[in-house]
A and B are shown apart, each in its own frame.
Chain A
Amino acid sequence: MRRIILTFAAAVLVAVGLGGVAVATSSGSTITVPRLDRAVATSFSNVYAQEAAIEGHTGITPSSLHAKAMCDRGPNVTQSGPGATWNCLMSWTDPNVPMPPTGYGKFELNVHSNGCFTVGSPSSLIGYQTITDRRGRTVNNPAYEFDTCLDPASDNTPTGTTFPSALTITSTTVNVAADGTVGVDLACGVGAGGCQGKVAAVTDSGTALGTVDVAMTEQATAHLTFPTALPAGTKEVTFTPTTTIGFAPPKPVTLEVQG
């Protein structure tokens, strides 16, 4: 009996040892950015062409879309491995559906350890769970959410696709502090390099409240405070973001002063 236990202990030790060697010598996860970029673009092209066919849009094939994706796991984390924080920005060409000014849509991924993942599409571009087909019936939208599995041995050379983060003003009204200065909230979306630039604020009566620098990582929010106090009686303030890195809103944003 003792020999049996020793045999088993030895077998377990060998197994753990081999496991340790495998873990130590491994070159990291097989779930990588280039593989996700390609797999997401391929799968999206296939399901989008199906959606177009259901809606009766002719001339849309997976290859006519020229879909390109840039996947990103979020700031300050290893850009590989399973997780629920993966996002992919994707651009494609469909004459029936114009792209937003940024040129891409944001897709959310939930990547499992077995290399399979679920993609959630942006409903502003793809529509909702159900769509109406040519005969007026309500049917499932194949592009709304879809499942894909990665080939762990597929091409791992970077795709070179990058998209800038979108800088947006998230405040819905002008925040006025107790000392009379004005603040505004910003968000920097998913993208390469984060957001850098300036935001200028001007009141409706033409008073410049100042220009403040912006330096944000991707997927972050910030609160800016302008140096000049708000003149009494101001109803609106116009904020004009400009960027050196990142995608600035194409038009200035005008917000009302509360109270």
Chain B
Amino acid sequence: MSATTAPAHGTTPRARTARAGFGATLGFELRKLRAQWRTRAVLLGALLLPIPVAFAIHAQGNPPKDSLFGRYATTNGFALALLVLGYAGQWVMPLLTAIVAGDIFASEDHHGTWKTILTRSVSRGSFFGAKTVAAMGFAILVLLILSASTIVTSVLVAGHGDLIGLSGQLIPASQAWHLVAMSWLTAIPPTVAFTGLAILLGIWSRSAAVGIAAPVVIGFVLQLVGSMGSAEALRPYLPTSAYEAWHGFLASPSFHGPFLTGLIASAVWAAITLGLSWTLLRRRDITGG
């Protein structure tokens, strides 16, 4: 229906891409993000939330043994940081990134600002690129803040004794710092994949609520799929499994196969979701809405 007019509309501004400047668009997107209370709340939450969480877990009389590293979480800061990482990968990280990525395109629908932006000297391409880079950058920034805050708080609260790894081996504190930090960094690829998913859902639904909540729900569904015996072959290729790739770093001998698989799988997920997002955005009839 309206799709026939959209490409024609999209080509005119794209011709001016070279002059419009990706950098300027990105700067503008970052300025918009900085001004939102939502962005500040997420950053502040990533910085401060680990503090009460670490204290609450540390205060438990019975350690949460059901979860990996829960056994020593009340007596060892490194174990506490890894226990929190296990939980964060289940829904916290998808949620934190979706709060911005799911809204970054949908907010233009919400405020009715598509026409205003796209009638300026900005192509849809550089506009899409700038918003995507801003959302990805924000996701990684939040993850780094959350990692640093959790590791530092955990070690301050529960101490930095030697850590018992996932092959029962004793890991000296000097090595444990390195391994725990590396483990947290392995959450970057799946978080990028979830950012792509949130962007796609935000563009597709034009609703911030869907863009923010749906990636978390999909994350839970994928975890369920991964836990079903009959779908075990799919498990390595789910972004939710990539959040568990750090297990191999803590084993002896350590193994990195799941991390590499997760890295590739996350890249494919990000490429597919961003590709679909761009297709949707490029074909969208802005004049209608």
Hey, which bits of chain A sit against chain B, CB under 8 A?
1-4, 7-8, 11, 19, 22-23, 25-26, 29-30, 39, 42-47, 50, 81-82, 113-116, 118, 140, 142, 145-149, 151-154
Contacts and interface: CB of A to CB of B under 8 A. Distances in A.
Contact of B247 (A8, A19, A26, A116): A116
Nearest to B272: A11
B1 A146 contact: no
Contact of A42 (B71, B167, B248, B255): B167
A5 B283 CA distance: 13
Contacts of A26: 232-233
Interface string B233-246: 11111000100100
B244 A22 contact: no
Given A142-B164, A142-B168, A153-B255, A113 B235 contact: yes
Contact of B164 (A30, A146, A152): A146
A127 B101 CA distance: 52
Interface of B: 1, 3, 65, 68-69, 71, 75, 164, 166-170, 204, 226-237, 241, 244, 247-248, 250-253, 255, 257-258, 272, 276, 279-280, 283
A142 B162 CA distance: 13
Nearest to B241: A114
Contacts of A46: 167-170, 252
8 contacts: A22-B233, A26-B232, A47-B168, A50-B168, A113-B232, A116-B166, A148-B167, A149-B68
B233 A1 contact: no
A103 to B, nearest CB: 22
A194 B3 CA distance: 70
A4 B255 CA distance: 42
Given A7-B276, A152-B257, A152-B258, A42 B232 contact: no
B232 A151 contact: no
A81 B229 CA distance: 7
Given A11-B276, A145-B65, A81 B232 contact: yes
Given A11-B276, A81-B232, A148 B227 contact: no
B166 A23 contact: no
Contact of A19 (B3, B231, B241, B255): B231
A160 to B, nearest CB: 21
Given A7-B279, A19-B234, A152-B257, 7 more contacts: A23-B233, A42-B168, A114-B241, A147-B166, A148-B166, A149-B251, A154-B255
Contacts of A19: 231, 234
Nearest to A119: B168
Nearest to A154: B255
A149 B247 contact: yes
A114 B235 CA distance: 8
B234 A22 contact: yes
A114 B244 contact: yes
A113 B226 contact: yes
A211 B230 CA distance: 47
B167 A39 contact: yes
B257 A44 contact: no
Given A23-B230, A23-B233, A4 B166 contact: no
A251 B65 CA distance: 40
Contacts of A30: 232
B233 to A, nearest CB: 3
A114 B233 CA distance: 12
Contacts of B164: 47, 50, 142, 146
Contacts of B69: 147
A140 B161 CA distance: 14
A3 B257 CA distance: 39
Contacts of A22: 233-234, 237
